[in-house]
Amino acid sequence: MPPIVALVGPTATGKSRLALELAVELDGEIVNADALQVYRGFDLGTAKPTREERARVRHHLIDVLAPEERFSAGRFARMARGALAEIGERGRLALVVGGSGFYLKALLEGLSPLPTGDERVRRELEERAGREGLESLRSELERVDPRGAARLAPGDRQRTLRALEVAVATGRPLSEWQDRTPAEPALEAVKLGLTLPRALLYDRIAARVGRMVESGWVEEVASLLERGVEPTAPAFQAIGYRQIARHLLGGDTLETALEETVRATRRYAKRQMTWFRGDAGIRWIHAQDPAEARREALDTLGRFRSR
């Protein structure tokens, strides 16, 4: 498989915009590495590329799943490798773009073989989550698999239950399974990361949430609920969607829901930076000036392609 470009970094740094410009300039195609843009109907709150943008540049792994379907790093890696192979056959540059660090790791480095699911254990955990709340199961995961729990956001229901399912069903923590030798060979990639000063990034996050609401985010969530998408669906665990859904179902006020969305997004951005800062192979680009970021990215990729 030919080398690829991975454009990474925390949310709201301008990855999608830069990726589009690079793809136009370098005759490339974009592979989405965001864990939520795969879901149909979840558009505004995931900052999904518009129809016009997708008409300009071919995108992969956008709108490929129903909201009720589960998505995982392993499934992403398999689908993304298929897309990369197709792009390579066309002789075009592949840009993998997103902020889901573990998904990118799964794609570029491969994942260790994991045990299959245990339906009985999964049902029991789902029932317990309904009775006791997710926080109780999160505490249990921290006891049996502290390393695995540290990788997950506190409200990540799907992955918390999956990690507990593996620990209960196999007697070994998921993090231990993940430490095994990957089944797939690693891929060569040029990794570019966008970064911003924390204060500016946090301001951008708040402003973006405001723009999403002005563009109809609340109405989008209401439409999804009216169509019968359950608030417990995997896609509804996304930041912002679950808060707005709770508001629409009679919980928090809209103001409270949006305040919590901004706080949760800022926490997520901080975790993203912590993850990516641990990767010494990323070439960091300051994203305060989009034009300068574009020039620096093109210069870096130009030197790579010439070699």
3-state secondary structure 114-172: CCCCCHHHHHHHHHHHHHHCHHHHHHHHHHHCHHHHHCCCCCCHHHHHHHHHHHHHHCC
Helix (H) or strand (E) holding 90: none
> What's the pLDDT score for residue 174?
86
Plot region of 13 (φ>0 → left; ψ -120 to 50 → alpha; else → beta): alpha
Decide: residue 55, CB within 10 A, 0-12 exposed, 13-18 middle, 19+ buried: exposed
DSSP 239-299: TTHHHHHHHHTTSS-HHHHHHHHHHHHHHHHHHHHHHHHT-TTEEEEE-SSHHHHHHHHHH
Q: Which of 266, 257, 153 is nearest to 207 (CA)?
A: 266
* Residue bearing tokens 């593996």: 166
> What's the pLDDT score for residue 287?
95
> What's the pLDDT score for residue 2?
64
Q: Which two tokens stand for residue 93?
A: 């540059």
Q: Does residue 239 sit in helix, strand or coil?
A: coil
> What's the pLDDT score for residue 183?
59
> What's the pLDDT score for residue 149?
87
> What's the pLDDT score for residue 112?
67
Q: Please give the chain's pLDDT, 307 residues, in tens.
A: 667 999 999 999 999 999 999 999 999 999 999 999 999 999 999 999 999 999 999 999 999 999 999 898 889 999 999 999 999 999 999 999 999 998 999 999 887 667 777 888 888 998 998 899 888 999 999 999 998 888 787 778 888 988 999 988 888 888 887 777 565 678 889 999 999 999 999 999 999 999 999 999 999 999 999 999 999 999 998 999 999 999 999 988 999 999 999 999 999 999 999 999 999 999 999 999 999 999 999 998 888 777 6
Q: Considering Cα of 276, then 207, then 51, then 297, what sign does the dihedral take? A: negative
CA dist., res. 108 & res. 84, Å (int): 11
Q: Which two tokens stand for residue 24?
A: 């136009």
Contact by Cβ (8 Å): 80, 31: yes
- Say what angle helices 254-277 and 101-109 make with each other, to 10 degrees: 40
Q: Which two tokens stand for residue 192?
A: 């570019």
> What's the pLDDT score for residue 306?
73
> What's the pLDDT score for residue 74?
87
CA dist., res. 64 & res. 39, Å (int): 6
65 secondary structure, DSSP code: B
Prediction pTM value: 0.81
